[in-house]
Chain A
Amino acid sequence: MATTNLPAMFFNDNFVIRDGDLEKVLDAALGKKADYADLYFEYRRNEGVSLEEGLVKNCSQSTANGVGVRVLADTKTGYAYTDDITIKNLEIAAGTARHIAQNRSAETPAPIGRPRVQAHDLYPVKTPVNDIALETKIELLYEIDKFSRALDARVKNVFVSLGSEYKVIYVATSQGIRVGDIQPLTRLNVTCIVEEGGNRQIASFGGGGRVEYGFFVDNKDWQRYAREAVRQAILNLEAIDAPAGTMDVVLGAGWPGILLHEAIGHGLEGDFNRKRTSAFTDRIGQKVASELCTVVDDGTIPWRRGSINIDDEGTPTHRTVLIEKGILKGYLQDKLNAALMKLPLTGNGRRESYAHIPMPRMTNTFMLAGESAPEDIIHSVKKGLYAVSFGGGQVDITSGKFVFSASEAYLIEDGKVTRPVKGATLIGNGPDVLTRVSMVGSDLKMDEGVGTCGKDGQSVPVGVGLPTVKIDGLTVGGTKA
C-alpha cells in the first residue's frame, strides 16, 4: 500500500539511509539486555498564513527533520534523538538510549506486542494544503475577512489563520516492522471581535482535518465558520452572568464531546492505569456510566484530524470500546504499557515529534447516539444550563476532577432555552459524571476538526464527538450565586 512504501523511499532518498543500516543501528540499540528498540524518522513542513486588521501580514514556514531512537527494558525507556540524520549520529543515539538497559531489574523480558491488523489508507490526500499556491490561500483569507465584516456592522476586527502540516514518518523496530505514513493536516480558523456601546466580545470558529484544500472552499465551508464566529460573538454581547452552583446541564452535540476526553479518556490511558495513579485503576468490568452510555476511541475515521493510519510506534489504529452500556471495557495502550499490563495493542502510542517519547494518547473519542430527540431532552429540564460550545478543558487524572469551559451557553427555564449566559467553567468528577447521564440524543455529531490535546508537554491532534446529552447535576462555575 502506498502509505507503507513512500515514506521509506523518502528517507532513503533524502538521508541516504538504507535497510542494512537500520538493522545495524537497531542491533546497537538493543545490545544484549534490552527487550525492544525502535527508530522513528520524521520529516515535517509547516506553513502558517494569517490575516489581521484586513491585512495578510505574516506567512511563516518551518521545516524539521530528525530521528528518535528508543530502547525498552522492562519498565525502562532510554531515548535519544538527533536532527542531523546520519548513520554515525544514529549509532551515537543508539548507544545513549541503550544505557537504560544496563541495570535492568526484571529477569524475564516483557514481550512487546506486535500489531495485528493491516494498515489503513484513511486520508489519501493528493495535494496537501502546503502545496496550494500561497497567492490562492492569501486571496481566500481576504475574502473571509470581507465576508465576515459584511455580516454585521458591529464586527470590529477579524483574524483568520490557515495552518497546514505535511508530515512523513517511518518506523523501524527490532521486531522487523518497517512501516511509514504520510500525515497531512490542515486547519482554518476565523476569530472576530465585535463591539457595541463599549461592550467588546470575541468568538472563534474553525475546522479542518487530514484533508485537501477543497474541504474549505468546495462548499464554501469557510462562510459557515465566519457566520458562526460572528454569531457567537454577537450573542455574547447580550449574555447575562452565568449561574453558579449545581444544576442539570444539557450538552449540545459535537464539540462538547470534550467532556468525554477530559472526564473519561485521559483516565483510561494505559500509563496511568499501569502505575495505578488513575481514578479508573482496576475498574474494568465495573459500572462507571449510565447504561445509555457507550464511548469509543476510533482512530480509523477517514479524513479526520484525530485519525492516523498507524500510530507513532507503527501500530495500525483501531476502534476501541472504552465504555459499553455503562460498563468500563478497555484502556488505550502504547507498546510499553500494553506489554507490562499484558493487554493488546490499541494503536494509541503517539508522540508530538521525533524529540518526544511515545505515550498512550486518544485519537477520536466519542459517545454513540442514543434514542432521545434533542428537543425532548431540553423539554425535560425545568431549570438548568444548555451548553453548546466550549473552549478548553483539563483533568486531574488521580483525583478524577475535570473542568471544561463553555463559550456558548443558555439558561433552560421550564423546558425552554431562554437567555444566553457568559462563559463559565463546568467541573465534575470523571468516574462519576457519566453515571448521571439520564438522556442521550439521536444526533451524534463529531467536532469540526480543531482539537489539540496536551499531555506531559506533548501536543497531538485529536477529535471528539457527542450526541446531545443530559447530565443530572453538574457544577456550573458562574458568578451569580
Chain B
Amino acid sequence: MERVELSKELGHEVLAIAKSKGASQGDVMMAESESFFVTVRMGEVEKISQAGEKRLGLRLFFGHSSASASTSDISKKSIEKLVEDTARMARVTAQDPHGGLPDAGELARELPQLDLIDEPARSVSVDEKIAIALQAEKSALAYDPRITNSEGAEFSNQFGRVIYASSHGFAGEYSGSTFGHSVSPVASQNGSMQRDYWYSSNRKFLRLESPASVGEKAAQRVLRRLGGRKHKTCEAPIVFDPEMAASLLRNLASAVSGYSLYKGASFLAGKLGAQIGSDLLTVIDDGTIPGALGSRPFDGEGLAVRKKSVVEKGLLQSYLLDTYSGKKLGMASTGNASRSVGEPPAVSPANFYLVPGKDSPEQIIATVKAGLYVTEMIGFGVNMVTGDYSRGAAGLWIENGELAYPVEEITIAGNLKEMFQNIEMVGSDLELRGRIASPTIKMSQMTIAGD
C-alpha cells in the first residue's frame, strides 16, 4: 500500500472526507518520530535500537457526540477506513452538550518560535553517542572501589514532528528534539547491594550535562545508600530532595487538572481561590520558555500556550484546563490540552515548577534536629480523591542538622492537603531538569513507619 506523507494539507484532506460523511466538526493530530537509543554495560555496548514511526489520529463530532481513532498505516485506503470507523463510532456515542472544538476565535494566531529542535545534532554519530554512555559508566565505576557493578548507561535521542489541523481551518506544526543520558551504578558493601542513578535530558545536545559529571553524581548517590538501615516508627520533619519534591508537584498538577476536578476525583475540587498550601508555595506553569522540555507553540487543541501562576503564596489561582474540562467547570481553557494521537484531549502541565526560595539545601538540612532527607520513593500510595499519602522511602537520617546515616525500608505518610500547608522552607536550588521541577523543600512533620 502506498504510504502518504504527513502534512497540514493531509489533515485538511482527511477532515474534508469526514465532512462529506456528515461530520459537523473534527480535528486531526499527526505525529512522526525518529528515535534511537544505545545502552552499554560494564564497558560494552549492550543494546542499540533505531526506528521511525508515524501515526495519524482523527476525532469527529456529529453534533455533540464524538469518537476518536488512530492508525499507523498512513495510506489512502487505511485513512478512508479510519474516517468510516470514526464516523460509525461517533454516531452511537452520547450527545454531550459540552463537547466540541474550542471557538474559532480562541485559536492561536501567531505561533511563537520556542527553539525546540537541535537540527545540527542530527549529525551526531552513533559512535559519539556510544562514547557518551561509555564515559558516564566509566566515570561512575572509577569513582569508588565499592562500585563493582552496573545496570548500565544509556544515551537516547528523539526527533519528532507534530502536526495539528482542525475543521475551524487551523493548521499548525512544530518539530522538537530531546536528548538524554543516564547511568545506574551498583555498589556493594558487606554482602548487600544498592543501585541508584543520575541523568541529564535536554532539547539541545550540547546542553547535556557531561558524562563525567553524570557518572560522578550517580556514584555519589549510590554510595550514600550503602549500609542503609530501618528507622523506628516516629513523627519527624522531612526534607525532600529536588527529584522527590518534583513528585509532589506531579501530584499537585494532577489534583488541579480539570478532568479530576469536574469528576470530583481531586482533593482540591472547589478550592479555587482558597489557601491550599503555606505562603512559601508559589507554582508556575509556563509553556513559553524557549528551549524547555515542556514548551510548545500551541496546545493539543490549537490554543496558545501561556504562563500563569497556578498557586501564589499558597492561594490556588488557576486550574489546568482544556476546552472540555473548562466548560464543565464554567471556565475558559488555560491552554493545557495535551493530545495522544487518536485520543480526545487530556490536560497536562507545560513547564510546571515551584518558585525557589532563599535557602541552600545545606541550610535547610541544618535546621533539622532529627528528621529524614528523602532521596527515593517507590510505590503508588497516593489517593488523589482524599489526598491520603503513603509511600515507600529511602534516604538519609538527619541528626543535629547533618546527614548522619542512610535509612531504607521505611514509609512516609500523611495527607497532601496538610503536606502542602506544612511546607516550612523552600530551597534556592531549582533546576528545570524535566517538565516538572522543584527545589528542595522541608515539611514540618510526617509519619515515618519502620521498626
Measured CB to CB, the residues of A under 8 A from B are 52-53, 55-66, 75-84, 93, 96-97, 99-100, 103, 105, 134-135, 138, 156-157, 159, 193, 195, 200-202, 242, 244-246, 275-277, 279, 355, 357, 391-399, 401-405, 422-425, 427-429, 475-481
Contact partner, B69, options A60, A84, A93, Cβ 8 Å: A60
Whether the Cβ atoms of A63 and B70 lie closer than 8 Å is: yes
The interface residues of chain A lying within 8 Å CB-to-CB of B194 are 398-399
Whether the Cβ atoms of A83 and B53 lie closer than 8 Å is: yes
Whether the Cβ atoms of A79 and B193 lie closer than 8 Å is: no
CB of B7 within 8 Å of the partner chain: no
Q: Rank and list the top 8 A-B pairs by shortest CB-CB distance, nearest first.
A: A477-B411, A403-B392, A403-B379, A398-B195, A244-B449, A425-B381, A392-B380, A245-B233
Tell me the smallest distance from the CB of B32 to a CB of chain A, in Å: 10
The interface residues of chain B lying within 8 Å CB-to-CB of A193 are 263-265, 385
Interface SS majority for chain B: strand
Whether the Cβ atoms of A57 and B96 lie closer than 8 Å is: yes
Given contact pairs A403-B379, A481-B235, A277 touches B151 in the complex (Cβ within 8 A): yes
Tell me the smallest distance from the CB of B383 to a CB of chain A, in Å: 6
The interface residues of chain B lying within 8 Å CB-to-CB of A405 are 379-381, 390
Whether the Cβ atoms of A401 and B392 lie closer than 8 Å is: yes
CB of B66 within 8 Å of the partner chain: yes
The interface residues of chain B lying within 8 Å CB-to-CB of A246 are 233, 449-451
Given contact pairs A391-B380, A478-B449, A427 touches B92 in the complex (Cβ within 8 A): no
Separation of A163 and B68 alpha carbons in the complex (Å): 14
Whether the Cβ atoms of B379 and A393 lie closer than 8 Å is: yes
Contact partner, B93, options A56, A202, A276, A481, Cβ 8 Å: A56
Tell me the smallest distance from the CB of B127 to a CB of chain A, in Å: 10
Q: Mark B383-424, 1 if CB is under 8 A from A, else 0.
A: 101101011101000000000000011111111000000000
Measured CB to CB, the residues of B under 8 A from A are 3, 41, 44-55, 57, 66-73, 78, 82, 85-86, 88-90, 92-94, 96, 99, 126, 149-151, 186, 192-195, 225, 228, 230, 233-235, 263-265, 342-344, 376, 378-381, 383, 385-386, 388, 390-392, 394, 408-415, 447-451
The interface residues of chain B lying within 8 Å CB-to-CB of A355 are 51, 53
Whether the Cβ atoms of B391 and A480 lie closer than 8 Å is: no
Q: Which residue of B lies closest to A480 (CB)?
A: B447
Whether the Cβ atoms of A56 and B378 lie closer than 8 Å is: no
Separation of A428 and B381 alpha carbons in the complex (Å): 15
Separation of A480 and B448 alpha carbons in the complex (Å): 10
Whether the Cβ atoms of A394 and B450 lie closer than 8 Å is: no
The interface residues of chain B lying within 8 Å CB-to-CB of A105 are 44
What total of A-B pairs shows CB separation below 8 Å?
261
Given contact pairs A83-B72, A138-B92, A403-B392, A76 touches B47 in the complex (Cβ within 8 A): yes
A to B CB contacts below 8 Å, 25 in the list? A60-B344, A61-B68, A63-B78, A66-B53, A78-B49, A79-B48, A83-B72, A157-B265, A200-B386, A276-B149, A277-B186, A357-B49, A392-B380, A399-B192, A401-B392, A401-B394, A403-B379, A403-B391, A424-B381, A425-B392, A427-B392, A475-B410, A477-B391, A481-B447, A481-B448
Whether the Cβ atoms of A425 and B411 lie closer than 8 Å is: yes
The interface residues of chain A lying within 8 Å CB-to-CB of B48 are 77-79, 96-97, 99-100
Tell me the smallest distance from the CB of A250 to a CB of chain B, in Å: 18
Separation of A99 and B66 alpha carbons in the complex (Å): 46
Separation of A405 and B391 alpha carbons in the complex (Å): 8
17 additional contacts (CB under 8 A) given A59-B67, A83-B73: A57-B96, A61-B69, A61-B86, A63-B73, A64-B72, A75-B46, A79-B49, A82-B52, A96-B48, A100-B48, A202-B385, A277-B151, A402-B392, A424-B411, A425-B379, A478-B447, A481-B447
The interface residues of chain A lying within 8 Å CB-to-CB of B193 are 277, 279, 398-399
Separation of A429 and B391 alpha carbons in the complex (Å): 15
Whether the Cβ atoms of A76 and B45 lie closer than 8 Å is: yes
Separation of A63 and B85 alpha carbons in the complex (Å): 11
Given contact pairs A424-B413, A478-B449, A394 touches B67 in the complex (Cβ within 8 A): no
Whether the Cβ atoms of B410 and A427 lie closer than 8 Å is: yes
- Interface-centre pick from A55, A61, A103, A134 (highest chain B CB count, 10 A): A61
Q: Which residue of A lies closest to B193 (CB)?
A: A398
Given contact pairs A58-B344, A82-B52, A83-B53, A479 touches B413 in the complex (Cβ within 8 A): yes
Tell me the smallest distance from the CB of B137 to a CB of chain A, in Å: 13
Whether the Cβ atoms of A479 and B447 lie closer than 8 Å is: yes
Whether the Cβ atoms of A477 and B412 lie closer than 8 Å is: yes
Whether the Cβ atoms of B449 and A76 lie closer than 8 Å is: no
Tell me the smallest distance from the CB of A72 to a CB of chain B, in Å: 10
Tell me the smallest distance from the CB of A174 to a CB of chain B, in Å: 18
Contact partner, B409, options A84, A134, A427, Cβ 8 Å: A427
The interface residues of chain A lying within 8 Å CB-to-CB of B3 are 84
- Interface-centre pick from A53, A59, A397, A429 (highest chain B CB count, 10 A): A59
Whether the Cβ atoms of A391 and B72 lie closer than 8 Å is: no
Tell me the smallest distance from the CB of A43 to a CB of chain B, in Å: 10
The interface residues of chain A lying within 8 Å CB-to-CB of B192 are 399
Tell me the smallest distance from the CB of B359 to a CB of chain A, in Å: 28
Given contact pairs A277-B186, A391-B380, A404-B379, A62 touches B69 in the complex (Cβ within 8 A): yes
Whether the Cβ atoms of A396 and B195 lie closer than 8 Å is: yes
The interface residues of chain A lying within 8 Å CB-to-CB of B88 are 134
Whether the Cβ atoms of A56 and B394 lie closer than 8 Å is: no
Whether the Cβ atoms of B72 and A55 lie closer than 8 Å is: no
Whether the Cβ atoms of A478 and B45 lie closer than 8 Å is: no
Separation of A422 and B413 alpha carbons in the complex (Å): 11
Whether the Cβ atoms of A429 and B390 lie closer than 8 Å is: no
Whether the Cβ atoms of A52 and B72 lie closer than 8 Å is: no
Tell me the smallest distance from the CB of B379 to a CB of chain A, in Å: 4
The interface residues of chain B lying within 8 Å CB-to-CB of A428 are 409
The interface residues of chain B lying within 8 Å CB-to-CB of A392 are 379-380
The interface residues of chain B lying within 8 Å CB-to-CB of A476 are 411, 449
Whether the Cβ atoms of A244 and B233 lie closer than 8 Å is: yes
Tell me the smallest distance from the CB of B132 to a CB of chain A, in Å: 17
The interface residues of chain B lying within 8 Å CB-to-CB of A83 are 52-54, 72-73
The interface residues of chain A lying within 8 Å CB-to-CB of B344 are 58, 60
- Interface-centre pick from B46, B126, B388 (highest chain A CB count, 10 A): B388
Separation of A392 and B89 alpha carbons in the complex (Å): 33
The interface residues of chain A lying within 8 Å CB-to-CB of B265 are 157, 193, 202
Tell me the smallest distance from the CB of A129 to a CB of chain B, in Å: 15
Whether the Cβ atoms of B51 and A82 lie closer than 8 Å is: yes
Contact partner, A65, options B73, B386, B408, Cβ 8 Å: B73
The interface residues of chain A lying within 8 Å CB-to-CB of B394 are 396, 399, 401
Whether the Cβ atoms of B388 and A422 lie closer than 8 Å is: yes
Whether the Cβ atoms of A64 and B51 lie closer than 8 Å is: no
The interface residues of chain A lying within 8 Å CB-to-CB of B378 are 394-396, 401-403
Whether the Cβ atoms of A481 and B383 lie closer than 8 Å is: no
Whether the Cβ atoms of A200 and B149 lie closer than 8 Å is: no
The interface residues of chain B lying within 8 Å CB-to-CB of A425 are 379, 381, 390-392, 411, 413
Separation of A55 and B99 alpha carbons in the complex (Å): 12
Tell me the smallest distance from the CB of B96 to a CB of chain A, in Å: 5
Whether the Cβ atoms of B233 and A55 lie closer than 8 Å is: no
Q: Which residue of A lies closest to B75 (CB)?
A: A84
Tell me the smallest distance from the CB of A397 to a CB of chain B, in Å: 7
Separation of A36 and B78 alpha carbons in the complex (Å): 34
Tell me the smallest distance from the CB of A37 to a CB of chain B, in Å: 14
Whether the Cβ atoms of A277 and B410 lie closer than 8 Å is: no
The interface residues of chain A lying within 8 Å CB-to-CB of B392 are 394, 401-403, 425, 427, 477
Separation of A204 and B365 alpha carbons in the complex (Å): 40
Q: Which residue of A lies closest to B376 (CB)?
A: A396
Separation of A424 and B414 alpha carbons in the complex (Å): 10
Separation of A58 and B73 alpha carbons in the complex (Å): 23
The interface residues of chain A lying within 8 Å CB-to-CB of B376 are 396
Contact partner, B408, options A75, A81, A134, A399, Cβ 8 Å: A399
Tell me the smallest distance from the CB of B142 to a CB of chain A, in Å: 19
Separation of A78 and B46 alpha carbons in the complex (Å): 8
Q: Which residue of B lies closest to A102 (CB)?
A: B45
Given contact pairs A52-B263, A65-B72, A423 touches B413 in the complex (Cβ within 8 A): no
